[in-house]
Amino acid sequence: MTIPRSVARPHLLPLLRSALVGEILAWIYLHPELNYSVAELAQRFGASHRSVGREVDQLAEAGLVRCELRGNIRLLRAELATPLTRPLTEVLELTYGPIAVLTDVIPPVPGVDEAYLFGSWAARYAGVGGPPPRDVDVLVVGEADDGALGGAARVAERQLGRQVNIHRVPLGHWRSASRDPFLESVRARPICALVTRRY
Summarised one tens digit per residue, pLDDT across range 17-67 is: 788 999 999 999 999 999 999 999 999 888 999 999 999 999 999 999 999
Last residue of a domain, one of 61, 95, 129: 95
User: pLDDT-derived band of residue 1, with 50, 70 and 90 as boundaries?
Assistant: very low
Assess contact for 28 and 21: CB atoms under 8 A.
Answer: no
Q: What's the rounded Cα separation, in Å, for the pair 5 and 172?
A: 33
Does some domain include residue 3? no
Per residue in 66-97, pLDDT (tens digit) is 999 888 899 999 999 999 999 999 999 888 89
* 182 shares its domain with 103: yes
* 111 shares its domain with 190: yes
What's the predicted TM-score (pTM) here? 0.80
Per residue in 94-148, pLDDT (tens digit) is 888 999 999 999 999 999 999 999 999 999 888 888 888 999 999 999 999 999 9
**Which domain, by its residues, includes 156?**
99-195
Q: How many domains does the chain have?
A: 2
pLDDT of 17: 78
Measured between alpha carbons, how far is residue 21 from residues 26, 89, 96 in Å?
8, 14, 10
Q: DSSP for 123-149?
A: HHHTT---SPPSEEEEEEEE---HHHH
